[in-house]
Amino acid sequence: MIEKESVKKILIIKLRGIGDVVLSTIVLDNLKTDFPGAIIDFICEASSKPGLEGLTQLNQVLVLPKSIMGRLKFYLKIRKKKYDLVLDLYSNPTTAQITYLSGAMYRAGFPYSGRKWAYNLFGPVERDRYHSAVLHLEFLKKIGLNSSSQNLYFYVSNNDNLFTESWLTQKTLHDKEFFGISPSGGWPSKKCDPEKFADIAEGIYKRFNLPALILWGPEDYNDAIKIKNLLGDKSILAPNTSIRQMASFISKCLFLIANDSGPMHISTAVKTPVLSIHGPTNPLHQGPFGNMHEWINLSELDCIMCNLLDCPKNHECFKDLPLSRIMEKVENLISKNKLLG
């Protein structure tokens, strides 16, 4: 068991995409409950740093270098910081090495084959039993720490909000209601087709008279333009933004329609209701976390939740998803969150 009074410095490690890191922030308030005076640092990849570096629970956000020489220097840097507790919430060979070489008294990770040697405290074995956010709470439980808080975080600065407000004012939208569409997705097979997004937006416009704000990142621009061209004046194309500015725009939306993606998880962190559309991934594990949200997939499809990066068929999981079912989910989202009068 951890002697809590001896823990003064904590390191959290979580790699992979922005959404994965957002889900890991569920541990922050719980750690602050157990270790109110402790310094907490966080190791992530560069894309996730903007959403973490302003959070009040964190002292410093460190980015894992890509080069071998950079990593060797990084390992020495971590060793010198003399952490008392390391939580390796990723537990791959690299993060296991960092955890072990940190020299921390308490080293917690998942008990994966070939990596257990790095840890003296272990999270749950059966990862597939839990939603990814709940998995982090189970991790805390297994090592004897508090797991009562379910708050997720993504940092948005005052400047990010000022940028958003200024743009919305210019477009005479600052006092209008609209919903968001995010065509982002980490893999090609996770991305709903632009035509389907346009159909959904048409349905929402006809039913609720709400225009769509189309949010996009560099890899989504072409899809965003297709959606805009299909919808015309029933939609607004958001400007080019940083990820934090996008988060600010999401916070201004009445609700968001999104793929399984970083923006979908950001929506849960900024407390904007989201309907996520799933094809290759399991919504019970990767869907939006929290009761205010909804998800949908074509559950009867024989290849649903295939986890393939590229679809070998015709993207039936999105193309064949009936609009009527999607609209039922949208109505549930609006009703339970009391979004419209």
> Which of the 8 DSSP states describes residue 259?
E
Q: What is the pLDDT of residue 186?
A: 87
| pLDDT given at position 240 | 97
Report CA dihedral (217, 219, 221, 222) to the nearest 10 degrees.
-160
Domain 158-336 grouped into CATH 3.30.110.30: no
pLDDT of 283 > 80? The answer is yes
Average pLDDT, the chain: 96
Ramachandran class of 144: left when φ > 0, alpha when ψ lies in -120 to 50, beta otherwise: left
Residue 299: both structure tokens together: 């559950």
In this prediction, residues 55-67 reach a mean pLDDT of 97
Q: Which CATH class is domain 4-142?
A: alpha beta
* 3-class DSSP assignment, residue 235: strand
Percent of the chain with pLDDT over 70: 100
* Cβ neighbours around 101 below 10 Å, total: 16
pLDDT per position as a tens digit, 77-131: 999 999 999 999 999 999 999 999 999 999 999 999 999 999 999 999 877 889 9
- Write the pLDDT tens digit of every residue in 182-219: 999 988 999 999 999 999 999 999 999 999 999 999 99
Residue 192 is predicted with a pLDDT of 93
Count Cα neighbours of 80 within 13 Å in the Cβ-side half-sphere: 6
Q: For residue 337, what is the enclosing H or E element?
A: none
CA separation for the pair 215, 238 (Å, rounded): 5
The predicted structure's pLDDT at residue 5? 96
* Whether 227 contacts 181, CB under 8 Å: yes
Query: What percent of the chain lies above the pLDDT cut of 90?
Result: 96
pLDDT at 256 over 90: yes
Domain with CATH 3.40.50.2000 in the chain: 4-142, 158-336
d(CA 57, CA 28): 7
Mean pLDDT of 250-254: 98
Which residue, among 74, 73, 69, has the nearest Cα to 44 in the 3D structure? 74
